[in-house]
Amino acid sequence: MSSMFPPSSSSSSSQKGVKLNAEGAPGPAVRVVTSLLCNLLRVTVTDGRVFVGIFAGTDQPLNILLDDTEEYRMTVPEASGSMLSESEPKAVELKKEARIDRRTRRYVGQVLIPWRMVNKIEAYKAQSRLGRRV
């Protein structure tokens, strides 16, 4: 009986796209990423949105795949008076005070976030009674 697939020419210890060290084991970066699988991540993107979901993996260009994800939008407190330009100190101060508004939460399910849009990734510790972040 013939197989549809050609026989594999690579050894069982190497995987396509994974950098292995001299002993044939994955490097430290791969170990860190694998240790984050199935953990809760908070990913902030360039347009101010924040995604909180279960880390399911990455693809070759390092896009982030999250499952069971909720999206939040950042809000800035209302400025009193006229519109402020970016050069004014008060406008910069308000921008620093931006925080997540819980009312703008929406469930998005599974999401793939392009790596070029990622500003920051935060990993949560395993859920404890206190629910503290790393």
CATH 2.30.30.100 fits 28-123, yes or no: yes
pTM of the model: 0.63
Share of the chain above pLDDT 90, in %: 40
Instruction: Summarize the chain as % helix, strand, coil (round to 5).
Output: 15, 35, 45
- Count Cα atoms within 13 angstroms, Cβ side, for 30: 14
> Over the chain, what is the mean pLDDT?
75
Q: How far apart are CA 15 and CA 19, in angstroms?
A: 8
Residue 30: which pLDDT band, with cuts at 50, 70 and 90? Answer: confident
On the question of pLDDT at 114 being above 70, the answer is yes
Based on its alpha-carbon atoms, the radius of gyration of the chain, rounded to whole angstroms, reads 21
Annotate 52-99 with DSSP letters as a single string.
EEEEEEE-TT--EEEEEEEEEEEE-PPPSSS---TTSHHHHHHHHT-E
- Please report, in angstroms and rounded to a whole number, the separation of the first and last CA atoms in the chain: 54
| Domain ranges (residues) in the chain | 28-123
What tokens appear for 35 in the block?
């240790």
